[in-house]
């Protein structure tokens, strides 16, 4: 119930946003070019002073000193722009239903980049690789890792690893190899493509083949498919980081030399194991440190969230320092520390952590897509029809063949097989994103003269996957009637019966003499209960069984809901009269 | 594994069992080896004490319930055929199975799996899980770490949530409904048995 018609209000808001955009763009552009005017002023000042020593000049009541606050101001403007865009999209109801947010944000980025260029200023190098990898990516990955649903992830770990490792390798070599072959044909009409050697092609293949977690998160968040498919595609996008890191460094290193020996391949495999396992180990160590620290925070509750963030960030940086997989380290850190930290920290800290992570990752994601748009306008571009179209086609073909082939093998080992529908969604969900672009941006122009062509092709593939696949996946999911995500609320019955079934299956496995999935899980749980929990959880809660903790959480949630809905004092008669809360 | 076929024939009713439960010859052989391992007295039947050879069962909170699930009510021993029939419940479901109406529901279907779990709760086989039976299971799982009062609250809460026809007990349909979000085919299958 509004006083003025909703359409007018919306229109007004949009107008405000656009005006703000225009207003903010100019300082953004102006700020990047050196502050010529300020320099001129100070020069004048110096000249004046030299001429008139000790001349008393009038006290400046109001002066403009942009240079002083330039960098933080720019950053804040960008963040504000991103957040206002996010607000703006949801005011236009029909648009947010059809077009995924990521596409809209890229378009905004294109507009902003275009406006800056029109204003004649130099576009700031926003998707600078350092900024991306050190500031924009970690919040998103931490959010994903901290809230990773462990049970489905572990249950499908084999499948996820197959897709992540074998699938990415297949993609990289298929795309790289065939691209090289295509570039070598047309001998009669020599083009710059002939300069392209095999190793740079393979390097390009490895950059472009990795499924991107940011893009997957952004698109899959809106389509609400069932947990299994979500964790398969998302898990793959996270775990393929190790493969990408190794392949990237391997090919980059040897592209200069021009050949790769068997020894190098062997070292590459060892390197992959080191990168992956090392990353997870570094993350786990920091996770345990964080959990241990949180044990002693009962008197200083206010800084509890800080420990979670700082330890995780340090895990990421430490892994990056050794060229290990930073993403895997961050995921491991978040996943390891979560059960213990949550048992130790206060309810308010828990809420703080949750919302800070969501906020940072949301802003980060928005910024990344806007920057992608801006970076596209900026270039540097080198459009080559053959290269770009062949790349796009090969990426699609490689993905489909890879998924179908791997599923055929994987289904032999799975209890619940993957259907054709599942395979289609997994293949279609293989989106590329900003990580590919940043990796391409990192390439040294001296070693890779065709870097601009690579960047153009990468951007085209990103645009294609995000726009075409991103926009059509929602209607396709509806069309194919793919199972959707079920409501998250877990009932106490589910919890009781699931635990019961866990014990039952462990018992059956023991009777059969089979050391399977349940057996090891049970052993891990017992080890956890006996030793680990005692170290990492403070006080009495270390002995609390999982079921009780769950029950308490449920009761708390219900009590809060009751108050929020205005129920307040009166409890319905059916509720148990005595709930013992320790 | 051509040679195993000949040793499978040494097991009485092997072909019949394979037909009934859907196990392959290799599986029947493996299960028979396991049966013989547990059957220390070599009398062809298992007693509850024989299951004691499986050390991990002693640590399992519901170990006793699992053992007694193998024995039909009133019986004190279980032979190989019954042993296999119980374990057939945990075979992964064959999604593409086509059955004609006359055939009985296969042991490893979702419904049969759920029924097996239900019967482990419902000790007196009256078709309902009463409050006392639920309390018994909770007590077994949570052990001495929890006060009686807490157990009562949880049991009360659970029944309140699941009991749709307000008879203060959980029937099989209510049990099935409360587990509708859980993928039973995945949860109650062992990969070993394919």
pLDDT in tens, A183-206: 877 655 556 667 777 888 889 999
Q: Where in chain B is the domain with CATH 1.10.238.10?
A: 13-90, 107-194
The residue in chain A having the minimum alpha-carbon distance to the alpha carbon of residue B52 is A511
Looking at the DSSP assignment, which residues form a beta bridge with residue A225? A484
End-to-end CA distance of chain B: 16
A507 with B59: Cβ contact below 8 A: no
What does the pLDDT profile of chain B (194 residues) look like in tens digits?
444 445 667 777 778 888 888 788 888 888 888 888 888 888 888 888 888 878 888 888 888 888 888 888 778 888 888 888 888 888 887 765 555 544 567 777 888 888 888 888 888 888 888 888 888 888 888 877 778 888 888 888 888 888 888 888 888 888 888 888 888 888 888 876 54
A216 vs A535: CA distance, rounded Å: 37
Question: Which A residues 433-492 touch B at CB under 8 Å?
Answer: 486-487, 490-492
Of A491, A510, A580, the CB nearest to B149: A580
Query: Which is more confidently placed, A169 or A37?
Result: A169
A201 vs A181: CA distance, rounded Å: 10
Mention every residue, 6+ apart, whose C-beta is less than 8 A from residue A539.
Answer: none
Answer whether B59's CB lies under 8 Å from A529's CB: no
pLDDT tens per residue across span A243-253: 888 888 888 87
CATH class of B107-194: mainly alpha
pLDDT at A2 (0 to 100): 44
Provide ipTM, 2 decimals: 0.90
Confidence band for A45, pLDDT divided at 50, 70 and 90: very low
Residue whose entry in the numeric block shows the structure tokens 């029924």: B115
Mention every residue, 6+ apart, whose C-beta is less than 8 A from residue A370.
Answer: A78, A81, A82, A85, A105, A106, A108, A109, A112
Instruction: State the smallest CA–CA distance between residue B6 and chain A in angstroms.
Output: 23
Instruction: State the smallest CA–CA distance between residue A88 and chain B in angstroms.
Output: 36
pLDDT at A516 (0 to 100): 76
Mean pLDDT across A509-525:
81
pLDDT of A10 above 60? no
**B128 three-state secondary structure:** strand
Burial (CB count <10 Å: 0-12, 13-18, 19+), residue A38: middle
In what helix (H) or strand (E) does residue B100 lie, and over which residues does it extend?
Answer: none
Q: What does pLDDT average to over chain A?
A: 82
Answer whether A516's CB lies under 8 Å from A578's CB: no
Structure tokens at A315: 């895990």
Looking at the DSSP assignment, which residues form a beta bridge with residue B171? B128
Mention every residue, 6+ apart, whose C-beta is less than 8 A from residue A492.
Answer: A550, A551, A554, B154, B157, B158, B161
Q: Is A493 on the interface with B (CB under 8 A)?
A: yes
pLDDT tens per residue across span A358-402: 999 999 999 999 888 888 888 778 888 888 888 999 999 999 999
pLDDT of A356 above 80? yes
In 10 A of CB A251, how many CB atoms?
23
Query: Which is more confidently placed, A218 or A120?
Result: A218
pLDDT at A453 (0 to 100): 86
CA A575 → CA B138, B160, B170, B174, distances in Å? 19, 9, 18, 20
Q: At residue A371, what are phi and psi to the nearest 5 degrees?
A: -65, -35
B62 vs B64: CA distance, rounded Å: 6
Q: Is A577 on the interface with B (CB under 8 A)?
A: no
Residue whose entry in the numeric block shows the structure tokens 């194919």: A480
pLDDT at A406 (0 to 100): 93
Q: Is B127 on the interface with A (CB under 8 A)?
A: no
Residues of B in contact with A413 (CB under 8 A): 191
Ranges A70-84, A139-153, A383-397, B81-95: which has the least confidence:
B81-95
Look up the pTM and report it: 0.80
A494 with B178: Cβ contact below 8 A: yes
pLDDT tens per residue across span A430-460: 899 889 988 888 888 777 778 888 889 999 9
A245 vs A278: CA distance, rounded Å: 13
pLDDT at A582 (0 to 100): 37
pLDDT of A17 above 60? no
B153 with A574: Cβ contact below 8 A: no
Answer whether A149's CB lies under 8 Å from A235's CB: no
Structure tokens at A86: 């996010």
B13-90: which CATH architecture?
Orthogonal Bundle (1.10)
Q: Report residue B132 CA to chain centroid gap.
A: 21
A516 with B117: Cβ contact below 8 A: no
Confidence band for A310, pLDDT divided at 50, 70 and 90: very high
Q: Report residue B94 CA to chain centroid gap.
A: 18
DSSP string covering A508-573: HHHHHT---HHHHHHHHHHHIIIIIHHHHS-GGGGG--HHHHHHHHHHHHHHHHHHHTT-TTPPPT
Burial (CB count <10 Å: 0-12, 13-18, 19+), residue A117: middle
pLDDT at A404 (0 to 100): 94
pLDDT of A40 above 80? no
């Amino acid at each position: 119930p509004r006083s003025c018609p909703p359409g007018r209000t919306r229109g007004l808001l949009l107008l405000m946003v656009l005006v703000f955009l225009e207003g903010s763009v100019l300082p953004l552009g102006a700020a990047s070019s050196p502050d010529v005017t300020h320099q001129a002023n100070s020069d004048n000042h110096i000249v004046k002073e030299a001429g008139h020593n000790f001349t008393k000049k009038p006290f400046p009541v109001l002066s403009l000193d942009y240079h002083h606050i330039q960098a933080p101001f720019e950053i804040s403007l960008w963040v504000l722009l991103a957040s206002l865009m996010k607000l703006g999209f949801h005011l236009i109801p029909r648009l947010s239903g059809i077009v995924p947010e990521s596409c809209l944000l890229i378009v905004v980025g294109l507009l902003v980049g275009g406006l800056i260029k029109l204003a004649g200023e130099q576009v700031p190098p926003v998707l600078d690789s350092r900024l991306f990898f050190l500031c924009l990516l970690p919040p998103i990955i931490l959010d994903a890792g901290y809230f990773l649903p462990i049970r489905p992830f572990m249950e499908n770990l084999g499948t996820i690893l197959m897709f992540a490792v074998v699938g990415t390798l297949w993609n990289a070599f298929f795309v790289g190899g065939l691209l090289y072959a295509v570039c070598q044909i047309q001998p009669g009409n020599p083009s710059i493509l002939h300069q392209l050697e095999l190793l740079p092609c393979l390097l390009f293949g490895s950059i472009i083949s990795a499924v991107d977690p940011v893009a997957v998160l952004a698109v899959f968040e809106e389509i609400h498919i069932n947990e299994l498919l979500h964790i398969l595609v998302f898990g793959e996008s996270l775990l393929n980081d190790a493969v990408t890191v190794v392949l990237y460094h391997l090919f980059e290193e040897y592209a200069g030399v021009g050949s790769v020996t068997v020894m190098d391949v062997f070292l590459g495999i060892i390197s992959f194991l080191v990168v992956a396992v090392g990353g997870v180990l570094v993350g786990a160590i920091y996770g345990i440190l964080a959990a241990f620290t949180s044990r002693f925070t009962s008197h200083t509750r206010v800084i509890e969230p800080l420990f979670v963030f700082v330890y995780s960030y340090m895990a990421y940086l430490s892994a990056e320092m050794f060229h290990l997989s930073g993403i895997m380290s961050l995921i491991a850190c978040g996943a390891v520390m979560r059960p213990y930290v949550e048992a130790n920290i206060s309810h308010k800290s828990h809420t703080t952590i949750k919302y800070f992570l969501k906020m940072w990752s949301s802003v980060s994601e928005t910024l990344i897509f806007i920057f992608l748009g801006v970076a596209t306008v900026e270039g540097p571009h080198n459009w080559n029809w053959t290269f770009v179209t062949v790349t796009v086609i090969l990426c699609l073909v490689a993905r489909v063949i890879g998924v179908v082939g791997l599923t055929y093998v994987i289904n032999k080992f799975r209890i619940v097989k993957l259907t054709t529908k599942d395979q289609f969604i997994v293949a279609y969900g293989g989106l590329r994103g900003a990580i590919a672009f940043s990796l391409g941006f990192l390439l040294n122009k001296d070693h890779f003269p065709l870097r601009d062509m690579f960047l153009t092709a990468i951007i085209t593939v990103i645009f294609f996957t995000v726009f075409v696949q991103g926009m059509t996946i929602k209607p396709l999911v509806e069309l194919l009637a793919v199972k959707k995500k079920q409501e998250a609320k877990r009932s106490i019955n589910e919890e009781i019966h699931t635990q019961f079934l866990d014990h039952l299956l462990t018992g059956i496995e023991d009777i059969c003499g089979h050391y399977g999935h349940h057996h090891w899980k049970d052993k891990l749980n017992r080890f956890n209960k006996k030793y680990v929990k005692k170290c990492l959880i403070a006080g009495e809660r270390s002995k609390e069984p999982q079921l009780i903790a769950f029950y308490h959480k449920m009761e708390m949630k219900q009590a809060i809901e009751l108050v929020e809905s205005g129920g307040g004092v009166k409890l319905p008669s059916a509720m148990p009269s005595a709930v013992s809360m320790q | 594994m051509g040679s195993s076929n000949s040793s499978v024939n040494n097991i009485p009713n092997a072909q019949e069992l394979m037909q009934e439960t859907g196990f392959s010859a290799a599986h029947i052989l493996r299960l028979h080896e396991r049966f013989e391992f547990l059957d220390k007295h070599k009398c062809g039947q298992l007693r509850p004490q024989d299951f004691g050879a499986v050390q991990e069962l002693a640590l399992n909170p519901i170990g006793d319930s699992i053992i007694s699930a193998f024995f039909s009510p009133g019986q004190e021993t279980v032979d190989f055929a019954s042993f296999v029939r119980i374990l057939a419940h945990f075979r992964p479901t064959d999604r593409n199975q086509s059955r004609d109406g006359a055939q009985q529901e296969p042991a490893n279907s979702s419904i049969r799996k759920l029924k097996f779990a239900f019967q482990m709760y419902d000790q007196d086989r009256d078709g309902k899980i009463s409050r006392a039976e639920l309390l018994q299971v909770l007590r077994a799982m949570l052990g001495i770490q929890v006060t009686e009062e807490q157990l009562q609250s949880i049991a009360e809460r659970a029944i309140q949530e699941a009991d749709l026809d307000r008879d203060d007990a959980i029937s099989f349909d209510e049990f099935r409904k409360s587990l509708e979000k859980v993928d039973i085919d995945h949860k109650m299958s062992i990969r070993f048995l394919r």
